[in-house]
Amino acid sequence: MNFRHKYVLSIDQGTTTSRAVLFNRQGEIITFSQKAFQQYFPKPGWVEHDPNEIWYTQSSAIKEAMAKADVTDTHIACIGIANQRETTIVWDRETGFPVYNAIVWQDRRTADYCEELKAEGYADYIQQKTGLVIDAYFSATKVKWILDHVKGVRERAERGELCFGTVDSWLIWKLTRGAQFITDITNASRTMLFNINTLQWDQELLDLFTIPSSMMPEVKSSSEVYCETSTPIFKAGIPVSGMAGDQQAALFGQLCLEEGMMKTTYGTGCFMIVNTGEKPVFSQNNLLTTIAWKLGDKVTYALEGSVFVGGAVVQWLRDGIGLIPNAPVTEQMAKSVPDNGGVYFVPALTGLGAPYWDQYARGAIIGITRGTTAAHLTRAALEGICYQVYDVLMAMENDIHAKPKEIRVDGGAIANNFLMQFQADICQCPVVRPRILETTALGAAYLAGLAVNYWKDMDELKEQWSLDTIFTAKMKPETAMALLTDWHKAVGRTMNWAMESEI
């Protein structure tokens, strides 16, 4: 097929925005569109999305991106999908109507149930099957909650009338008008229902969570032609041929294709993943063993540390308390003071993720004095992101018994030079920012393009990666360690803060 003058459309459906990006054969962005959607917080610790709004904003972003580039269906070679992971949607198999809002990965409503599972001794059992720790983060307990708490839903599920899917499954369903009910292996590996050893839905886990197997989508590889679109967005059918959870897509987009290569994405949360090769490495340090991707018959595994609140803390400074007018101003404010003034901000706004996994931690700002300014608070928030990433890095080094040569970074927050320099300082490791920041969307595009031979092979992709900036440590190691000592003291103050009844 002649792909001259053709592009790959990447769907990047995130936690706060739905995005559409068009890439050319050089891996360059032709155009993109981004649409924000509503975040719902029905109770403390609860986070929901409207599945139909996810689809509406995503389809709107696709149409706008195509219009901005003045392209039609005939200019699109294929479509790749990257998506917010773990977020749980249950819908009617016949009508396509959701039975409840999407329960977002950040949601903590099932924390008490997770503690019960741990108390009953299921932690090792679930880790050995899924590579995951027991936590409200993952999809399994969210599905169970919907079945148990939404009137009439369990009965409908047991009659085979309902579908469960993560956001990738929902988008494919909508793109094909219900003709395809599938997921990819990376998203499946984040549900706490998928056995990463047998590469199948695990019936024992489905029984444990009382989820009918009829609700589960078919699991596909990360790069193959799944279907053609059948939606009014496009006049003709376009192959959908790549799919991965957003963090795995970013790892692929960063071309961390060799064992030991790692990246950190700075989005709503922060997610560090290291490629561990063809065999799963089960963490001794509270990290997650996950599937990086499956190409053909070959599965590549990864270790991941998930920080729940990364860029979301900046969003909270802006929208929650009105301390800042916009995100870009945080760099200037942080640089306007020589240090944090003794202030530490632990952004445990939805609990603490790796390596602490404390569902009852809550956010805290510690060390405030009469001399504390808005600039100190802003700097402390940015530093808090970096400290959390450091904690994950240390856990990762202990699991793989090696220090990384570099940390490749991506996500919207990496445009902040203060954040990147402080990350290099506190980790005492080079932080490498690529020229193209949209590596999540790029990874989805690469996976899709490989499946239809838009790109020939991995070697062609490797030639496209290009550097923007390398941030190297300028801080003395003893200074970094002193800051980290106070950080860990601050973290200790936040842990186990909320009573179980408050979740």
The CATH number of residue 282's host domain is: 3.30.420.40
Return the exposure string of 333-366: e unless at least 16 CB atoms fall within 10 Å of the residue's CB, then b.
bbeebeebbebbbbbbbbbbbbbbbbbbbbbbbb
317 and 291 together in one domain: no
- Annotated binding-site residue numbers: 15-17, 19, 85-86, 137, 246-247, 268, 311, 315, 412, 416
- Annotated binding-site residue numbers for sn-glycerol 3-phosphate: 15, 85-86, 137, 246
Is 480 part of a structural domain of the chain?
A: no
- Annotated binding-site residue numbers for ADP: 15, 19, 268, 311, 412, 416
436 and 365 together in one domain: no
Q: What are phi and psi of 474, to 5 degrees?
A: -115, -15
Is 464 part of a structural domain of the chain?
A: yes
Is 502 part of a structural domain of the chain?
A: no
DSSP letter at 39 equals -
Token couple for 257: 């294709």
For the chain, how big is the Rg over CA atoms in Å? 22
66 and 101 together in one domain: yes
Write the burial class of residue 428 (CB in 10 Å: 0-12 exposed, 13-18 middle, 19+ buried): middle
27 and 170 together in one domain: yes
326 and 380 together in one domain: yes
Q: What is the pLDDT of residue 21?
A: 96
N-term to C-term CA, the chain: 55
Is 162 part of a structural domain of the chain?
A: yes
| pTM confidence score | 0.86
**Contacts with 456 (C-beta within 8 Å, 6 or more apart), sequence order:** none
338 and 451 together in one domain: no
Number of domains comprising the chain:
3
Quote the CA–CA distance of 420 and 433 in Å, as a whole number.
9
DSSP letter at 303 equals E
Is 214 part of a structural domain of the chain?
A: yes
Place of tokens 């963490």: 283
Quote the CA–CA distance of 476 and 498 in Å, as a whole number.
37
Q: What is the pLDDT of residues 17-54, one digit of tens each?
A: 999 999 999 888 999 999 999 999 999 889 999 999 99
366 and 427 together in one domain: no
228 and 284 together in one domain: no
Q: What is the pLDDT of residue 94?
A: 92
Among 124, 385, 396, which Cα is nearest to 272's? 396
> Domain residues for 181?
7-245
130 and 158 together in one domain: yes
233 and 281 together in one domain: no
Is 28 part of a structural domain of the chain?
A: yes
Spell out the per-residue pLDDT of the chain, length 503, in tens: 556 668 999 999 999 899 999 999 988 899 999 999 999 999 988 999 999 999 999 999 999 999 999 888 889 999 999 999 999 999 999 999 999 999 999 898 999 999 999 999 999 999 999 999 999 989 999 999 999 999 999 999 999 999 999 999 999 999 999 999 999 999 999 999 999 999 999 999 999 999 999 999 999 999 999 999 988 888 888 999 999 999 999 999 999 998 888 999 898 889 899 999 998 889 888 899 999 999 999 999 999 998 989 888 999 999 999 989 998 999 999 999 999 999 999 999 888 888 998 878 899 999 999 999 999 999 999 999 999 999 999 999 999 888 888 999 988 888 899 999 999 999 999 999 988 878 899 999 999 999 999 998 888 898 887 888 999 999 999 999 999 999 999 999 998 887 654 44
Is 236 part of a structural domain of the chain?
A: yes
Q: What is the pLDDT of residues 55-111, one digit of tens each?
A: 999 999 999 999 999 888 889 999 999 999 999 999 999 999 999 999 999 898 999
232 and 291 together in one domain: no
Q: What is the pLDDT of residue 477?
A: 94
- Annotated binding-site residue numbers for glycerol: 85-86, 137, 246-247
Is 335 part of a structural domain of the chain?
A: yes
- Annotated binding-site residue numbers for ATP: 15-17, 268, 311, 315, 412
Q: What is the pLDDT of residue 5?
A: 67
Quote the CA–CA distance of 198 and 196 in Å, as a whole number.
6
275 and 200 together in one domain: no
Token couple for 234: 């496009």
